[in-house]
Amino acid sequence: MKFTFTKYLLLVLLVAFVVSCGKDDDDDPIDETPVGTVYNKISFSPGAAEDDILAAFIQMETGDTISFEAGNYPFTKSLSLLDIDSVVIAGAGQEATILDFSNQIEGAEGILATNCKMLMFAHLTVRNTVGDAIKGKDCDGLTFYKVTAEWTGEVSSNNGAYGLYPVQSANVLLDGCIARGASDAGLYVGQCNGAIVKNCIAYENVAGIEVENTMNAEVFDNLAYDNTGGILIFDLPNLAVSGNHCRVFNNEIRDNSHQNFAKSGVVGQVPPGTGIMILSTKTVEVFNNTITNNNIMGIGIINYQVLAVFDEDLATDDENFDSYPDNIYIHDNTISRTENYPPGLNDVGNVLQLQFPSGDMPDIIFDGFTREGQQICIQNNGDASFVDIDADNSFLNKNFDTAPYDCSITPLSESTVNAPIWK
């Protein structure tokens, strides 16, 4: 065991910069000091006592860094951070530093950060937690940089729901992260204001990347494959925040046909074979994505009422909830598919398959729930096919004509976040 507590004063220009949506240089050396004012650096090596690490997390103060050397660190209890500012939790690399919760017996998460500001997790893996891997709640300025959240072995509904899980927070950045095996969403942003998800990989989750009830979000340059659904942009009822202003672009979304292994809930209704699903949210622009072999729903534009039909527990009496997706602009995507439907379809998938039993499911599906003034524009998606599936009328009057949706919307402005960056 090695436990060093070295005090030093190292002033390194600014605690955080505004992180724009342009690409970063992805070969940052991991041995450089992250942006921040480091007052205490606490270093651990493999064999360190779990209680010493737990205590170090609890005792962190403004400007501190906890550094894990390469190796495996087994935990039986959750780690927690509360009410701290400008701190860093860093390892020696995603494949080098493993925080392993395979034998966890206490706590609902691997790491829980509450009411923190300018907090960064970097260069490490959190593995096999009982619940969520890393949850950040009520934080402002929260960065996950080259962090992996994974459940090893066969995927299971017993896996934790969320991998990286910022919720009810502001100025969130996920950059270069990986998620595998989450029984809800691998990379999730919920009820946040200002979020960027970029350069990430999500595979073998129910939802690869999910943005839920979030304002001012950017999702780009990611790879989502072999999930049930690749990228989900959702608005759900009975939440204080409604989603608005989300750009989804330059992503590769392919082969998302994994059987749905969620325990329950809305994500349990996502059919295998879903590339992008837009559910009830507002002001979304989807462009320049490559969407391949998501053979039930390449892109779906769906009203929450449709999913509630399949699960009575999803019924809502929230009078403030507007379930109609609106101001949706889908353009300049490349969409292709085969006629092979995924095995193990759920109820939603089976109903859709029955509408097109020959395997000729259109690439873009609109459920047909409309209201006056609703705006949905679909343009320049190559040879992508389209259907208004008329779910509101038992699928009796399907409409394959794109003319009513051949319109454009002013492109959304770029969103930025004020979160720590690794330099």
DSSP assignment string, 13-36? S-S-EEE-SSPPPS---TTSPPSE
113 assigned to some structural domain: no
pLDDT of 249: 98
223 assigned to some structural domain: yes
Distances (CA, A) of 182 to 111, 178, 207, 275: 15, 11, 8, 17
91 assigned to some structural domain: no
115 assigned to some structural domain: no
Going by pLDDT thresholds of 50, 70 and 90, the confidence category of residue 9 is: very low
Instruction: Specify whether the CB–CB gap between 123 and 97 falls below 8 A.
Output: yes
53 assigned to some structural domain: no
268 assigned to some structural domain: yes
Going by pLDDT thresholds of 50, 70 and 90, the confidence category of residue 38 is: low
Q: Which residue is associated with the tokens 């609890």?
A: 58
Query: What's the pLDDT tens digit per position in 121-178?
Result: 999 999 999 999 999 999 999 999 999 999 999 999 999 999 999 999 999 999 999 9
Which amino acid appears at position 159 of this protein? N
Residues in contact with 133: Cβ distance below 8 Å, sequence separation at least 6, in sequence order:
109, 110, 111, 126, 127, 149, 150, 160, 162, 163, 164, 165, 182
pLDDT of 417: 97
pLDDT of 7: 32
Residue 172 backbone dihedrals phi, psi, to 5 degrees: -110, 135
Lowest mean pLDDT segment, chosen from 5-19, 75-89, 342-356: 5-19
Beginning with the edge strand found earlier in the chain, give each strand of the sheet holding 274-279 in spatial order: 79-82, 109-114, 132-137, 162-167, 185-190, 207-212, 229-234, 274-279, 297-302, 364-366, 386-388
Portion of the chain with pLDDT greater than 70, in percent: 91
Q: Which two tokens stand for residue 94?
A: 């995603």
Portion of the chain with pLDDT greater than 90, in percent: 87
Going by pLDDT thresholds of 50, 70 and 90, the confidence category of residue 392 is: confident
pLDDT of 423: 75
Q: What is the total count of domains within the chain?
A: 1
pLDDT of 10: 30
Lowest mean pLDDT segment, chosen from 35-49, 146-160, 261-275: 35-49
pLDDT of 309: 87
Q: How far is CA 136 from the centre of its chain?
A: 13
Burial classification of residue 70, based on how many CB atoms lie within 10 Å of its CB (0-12 exposed, 13-18 middle, 19 or more buried): middle
CATH of the domain at 176: 2.160.20
pLDDT of 207: 98
Going by pLDDT thresholds of 50, 70 and 90, the confidence category of residue 40 is: confident
Answer yes or no: pTM beyond 0.85.
Answer: yes
Query: What's the pLDDT tens digit per position in 323-332?
Result: 999 999 999 9
232 assigned to some structural domain: yes
* Range(s) of the domain holding residue 192: 131-419
285 assigned to some structural domain: yes
> Which run of H or E residues covers position 309?
helix 304-310
Instruction: Specify whether the CB–CB gap between 377 and 411 falls below 8 A.
Output: no
pLDDT of 191: 98
